[in-house]
Structure 1
Amino acid sequence: MLRFGVNYTPSRDWFYSWLDPDWAAVRRDLEAVAALGLDHIRVLPLWPVVQPNRTLIRRRALRDVRRVVEIAAGAGLDASVDVLQGHLSGFDFVPSWLTDWHRRSMFADPDAVAAQARLVEAFEEELHDLPTFLGLTLGNEVNQFTSAAHPTPMPATTEQVTSWLSALHGAGPRDARHFRLNAEYDAVWYADGHAFVPSHSSRFGGMSVVHSWIFNGTAQGYGPMSHESLHHAAYLVELSRAFAVDPGRPVWLQEVGAPLNHLSEEQAPDFCEGTVRAAADCEALWGITWWCSHDVDRRLGDFPDLEHSLGLIGADGAVKPIGRRFAELAAELRDRPRPASRREAVVIPVDGADVPLSRAELSPGGGVFEAWMERARAGARPALVTSGIAADPAALGARSVERAAPAAPTGRTFYTSVSDAAVLERPGLYAEDAEDAPTFSPL
């Protein structure tokens, strides 16, 4: 069964509601989500609320998270929970023991890593007995903190990231029915020099996670309703699968949305449908979790404007046209037959550590991206494989791939890792390498 759900954005006071939860509002929100025929939510607590001091984990905050999962269950919804938030909708929520006078890298400082590992286990202890609890994601796109695009980065090497992931994954969930995952934004795939590498995303935990946003250069380079934009999420699912050791490893499209800084409100439902149908044709896909449940109320200040329009449900509680379309797609595709295996693949050149020789060539505008899109546009169903897999007939056979062809490099990228126009106006902060910054107009 293909899972369909939403990233739960509280209608009352956004995620600031964790400071003082309104349980009646939470119940209304989740009953509205369930009424769309969806089956799960992703819950995103705020890290400083749960662990305001390195050695203090607030039990009341953990109980509040547990109560949201219980309310979701009462509405007929399963729930996954994130641990480190981290970053949400253009705002960072990092505890004070990592910033300013106490500044240290969450990835490289031993005391900080140990504190995060304790928090992961505290969430596990609080939630593992709930029958509708799906599992934990370590955090929301925290790889952004290692990026040169971040105004106050926390530097880390790829080796330190590996150690950090190993420490936080630990022995994994205590119950085999649950998952423990990590979720990165797309610099892991598209940005050369980024400390997180594709194998981090595709080889830790029991399932891979991708987040698909077309404001990353796809919409700018090809158009918001282009074939490339509508197939971007499917491309990421296949890209993630290329780096998995196990060909049967599932991939969760954990975030995808319709950003109105590129799409019009009238285009959003059709964008949703095209994206969902393309992704549902990926045999590895576990589920699609839309960003997000509710629009951010416009009485809250300083959000990028697009954040006020990403919900399936408006701030007034009314289901939007995109919400109705997503509900219809969920009803139609939930029990779809498992898609056939993909028989041809585009090859990704990698080094001996399975790091792409050029991640820019995987990005929008790059040769691998364009070769995959060209074959998909022609009616083929291309996969992606690394050059190591392509050189091993047995490994190709295990993936049911009969033909694997290299892509011609383009030597260009449209990729940008920042979507907020206010940030893009600050020179040097909108690309992993300012010298390689894309030349299209800002978002």
Structure 2
Amino acid sequence: MEQGRLLRDGQPFLAIGVNYHPSRAGCRLWIDWDPVALRRDFAGMAGAGLTTVRFFVFWRDFEPEPGRYREKALDRLREAVETAGQEGLSCVVSLLTIWMNGQLLDLPWRHGRDLWRDEEMLDRQEAFARAVATTLHGVAGLLAIDLGDEIGNVRTGPAPTREQVAAWQARLAGALRDERPGTLVVQANDASGVLGPAPFGPDNAGGLDLVAVHGFPTWAAGSIESTLSYKATSLAPFLVRYAAAYGVPIVDELGSYGVDEATAAAYLGAAAASALANGAAGIVPWCWQDIASRDEPYQDRPGEREVGLHRLDGSPKPAMTALRRVASAASGLVPGRARAPIALYVPERQRGSGASYLDSGPDTVATFYAYLLLKRAHLDFDVVAGDLSGYRMVVCPSVTRVIAADLDRLTRHVDDGGLLWYSLGDHLHGFPGADLAGVELVDYSLLPDGRTTLDWAGRQWPLEWPATARPVDVRATTARTVGRWADGSGAVFQNRDRVFFCAAPVERQLDRPGRLAAYPWEWWYRELAGLAGIVPDPDCVDPDVEIVPDRGAGRRAVLINHGAGAVRPDLRWGGEERPVPLEPKQWRIVTRGADGWS
């Protein structure tokens, strides 16, 4: 790892690969060992242009009794990593695999004991981590060790605290690095690590080298209408951008369920290309091949056997073709690095767990919608969880919780001449104070009468109040009113010329099926950006087309049509304008040179 980029043999490396169970053995691969099948499959992956394979260490198969390891299983693990390396692949090894496909493949001796609170279980995990790291010492084919795939689902009591998770990660990562110096460590989490209150997540990634996210729209918050919806293929890149605020992001599970082959291919192509364009260090879809095995966990969830990129006979599905296209163009999808002019700010306590009646739940769904609005406005931005120095505009969407450190950063940003957009999600714990907002709180009301339509700059906007949000009366102190509710009361205020405060959760109220595209909500952000002197370039009129500009040389851009229909938008770039045809979910790399565009 160097400057947030993966390297292999000193050269930039992208982890483009697949999750893997052998089709015949399934989750019994360490018991029903077939090295011939592994080599054949690994060779097939490398031949398809992939660089990475992720597979799973089912803990119960390696440590059937406390402290007694199956040496044969450890030898097989080493052989698997060596074989992958010989075929040109790097491995992500998921260490403490207990949870798989919605079931517990549990240790027979755990007896429901807590992985994060029980001292004996903590000792056993550390010892097993050391045993695996020792086994893999000196093996060159290892990219990273994942501590435990979606391990937050392995619990019998209350969820661990954030502090317990951080200590657990640091302890196991330290053990791995003690026995195998230089090992990269990752923790793979489902979307609740971003969009929910789970203590596992990018914002609690201490001790980790990579921050892993899983992109499955079926199980994500945000009112994602379908697998082929705009929001569905925008989910994984959003998770990447969010994770990048805390570390080096990788999508180590990605895919779709309950769809036909054409839908799976369209989804994977757009989501994978967009994830890489938005800065992922790799994408590892689920999974290599349909599963022939009918053993556990496939008795309870037989549909899990049919989500491979290859059929049982080994023939590739259309999704595999989509992945190969992404792999072949991966280096061109990676953006150049530089600071964007806009910061989408993540408050420090955004993913509050609601531990008491004073606490709001997580409000990252509002961040997701702010991300979508910025994308639909074709504005270049960073997701930022810390210092805001150097940004010309900061977006704080539907805030439910701010602490003093957040307010200090926002105040410094405004004092330095930056523009601030701040919408209110909770009038008690999300209010930024009268000095910053230029208004004071009067009272709340559970009756939104007269406050379902907002007039700003001659446009009317229908707002739906979420059940968790309370309409609030505010009184201007130093601010002037620039937007009003239908009843004439103030809704949007401008303070110190550079602070725009909205007394409603504009972004959070978009969390309804179909609502995002029902009105041109992105206009709000474009209007504000214009006041900050920010004009999108490149740009087009179609909000469903994502444009990711290269911040390096500035001569390349990735275009992804996240929409369900074919489009032919005129791309405006550097004073020129050219049509760029895009089929549904199609992506293109556009280069602008001295001899024209390509």
- Shorter-chain TM-score category? 0.7 to 0.9
Judged with a 3 Å threshold, the aligned counterparts in structure 2 of structure 1 residues 326 and 359 are, in CA distance, closer, same or farther, namely farther
2-structure distance, mates of 1:352, 1:129: 41
Check the 8 A contact 2:130/2:175 in 1, yes or no: no
Secondary structure of the equivalent of 2:224? helix
1:290 partnered with 2:285: yes
CA apart distance, 1:77: 1.0
Go from structure 1 to structure 2 and tell me whether the alpha carbon gap of 1:220 and 1:308 turns closer, same or farther (over 3 Å shift): farther
The residue aligned with 1:433 is none
- Asked if residue 52 in structure 1 is aligned to residue 64 in structure 2, the reply is yes
Q: Secondary structure at the match of 1:273?
A: helix
Over 3 Å counting, the alpha-carbon distance change for 1:34 and 1:354 in structure 2 is same
Give CA-to-partner distance per residue, 1:231-259, whole Å, 9 cap, x none: 101111111223x2xxxx31111111122
What is the match of residue 367 of structure 2? 368
Aligned to 1:429: none
Q: Aligned partners of 2:117, 2:367: CA distance in 1, in Å?
A: 33
- Aligned equivalent of 1:158: 162
Q: Which of 392, 395, 403 is residue 409 of structure 2 equivalent to?
A: 392
- Residue 327 (structure 1) aligned with residue 324 (structure 2): yes
- Relative contact order: is structure 1 or structure 2 higher (C-alpha 8 Å, sep ≥ 6)? 1
Aligned to 1:281: 277
Instruction: Give, in whole Å, the separation in 2 of the partners of 1:78 and 1:352.
Output: 35
Instruction: Provide closer, same or farther for how the CA distance between residues 4 and 92 of structure 1 changes in structure 2, counting only shifts above 3 A.
Output: same
Residues 101-140 of structure 1: CA deviation (Å, up to 9, x unaligned): xx31011101110110011111111112011222311110
Q: 1:16 — aligned with what?
A: 28
Deviations 1:187-241 (A, max 9, x none): 222223x3435432x3331121111111124586332212211110111111122
The residue aligned with 2:142 is 133
Q: Cα distance, 1:338 vs. partner?
A: 3.1
Aligned positions of 1:376-415 closer than 5 A: 376-386=375-385, 388=405, 391-392=408-409, 405-407=421-423, 409=425, 411=466
**Correspondences of 1:89-168 after superposition (within 5 Å):** 89-99=101-111, 103-146=112-155, 152-153=156-157, 155-168=159-172
Aligned to 2:268: 272
**Residues 350-369 of structure 1 mapped to structure 2, 5 A cutoff:** 350-351=348-349, 358=360, 360-362=362-364, 366-369=365-368
- Contact persistence 1:361–1:412 (CA under 8 A): no
Q: Which has the higher strand share?
A: 2
One-letter identity of the residue aligned with 1:64? R
- Aligned partner of residue 5 in structure 1, secondary structure: strand
Instruction: Work out whether residues 23 and 293 of structure 2, in 8 Å CA contact, stay in contact via their aligned partners in 1.
Output: no
Unaligned runs of 5+ in 1: 147-151, 397-401, 414-437
Which amino acid in structure 2 is aligned with residue 281 of structure 1?
A
Q: Which stretch shows the higher mean deviation, 11-20 or 212-221?
A: 212-221
**Which of 213, 235, 240 is the aligned partner of 1:237?**
240
Distance 1:10 1:268, change over 3 A: same
The Cα shift of 1:281 comes to 1.8
Which has the greater radius of gyration?
A: 2
| Residue segments in structure 2 that go unaligned for 5+ positions in a row | 1-12, 386-401, 426-464, 469-510, 514-598
Distance 1:291 1:131 in 2: 24
Q: Could you give the per-residue CA deviations for residues 81-111 of structure 1, whole angstroms, max 9, x where no partner exists?
A: 1110111122212212212xxx310111011
Identity, % of aligned positions: 23
Q: Matches of 1:115 and 1:220 in 2, distance apart?
A: 41
How far, CA to CA, are the matches of 2:260 and 2:124 in structure 1? 44
Secondary structure of the residue that 2:54 maps to in structure 1?
strand
Secondary structure of the structure 2 residue equivalent to 1:203: coil
**Corresponding residue of 2:343:** 345
Task: Specify the SS of the correspondent of 2:186.
Answer: strand
Tell me the amino acid that sits aligned with residue 74 of structure 1: Q
CA distance in structure 2 between the aligned counterparts of 1:383 and 1:390, rounded to whole angstroms: 19
d(CA) in 1 for partners of 2:40, 2:153: 33
> Is the partner of 1:139 in helix, strand or coil?
coil
Distance 2:216 2:369 in 1: 17
For 1:319 and 1:204, locate their aligned partners in 2 and report how far apart those are by CA, in whole Å: 38
1:190 paired with 2:195, answer yes
* Native 8 Å contact 1:345 1:405 kept in 2: no
Take 1:47 and 1:337, find their aligned partners in 2: how far apart are those partners?
Answer: 36
Deviation at 1:339, TM superposition (A): 3.5
The amino acid that maps onto 2:125 is Q
Name which of 77, 81, 84 aligns with 1:72. 84
Do the aligned residues in 2 keep the contact of 1:346 with 1:407 (CA within 8 Å)? no
Deviation for aligned residue 1:170: 2.0
Aligned mates of 1:303, 1:334 — CA distance in 2: 40
Change over 3 Å in CA distance of 1:353–1:379 after alignment to 2: closer
Change (3 A) 1:13 1:352: closer
Whether the 8 Å CA contact 1:347–1:407 is kept in 2: the answer is no
* Structure 1 Cα separation of the partners of residues 284 and 467 of structure 2: 31
Q: Relative to total residues, which structure has the larger helix share, 1 or 2?
A: 1
> What secondary structure does 1:351 align onto?
coil
Scaled by the length of structure 1, the TM-score of the pair is: 0.79
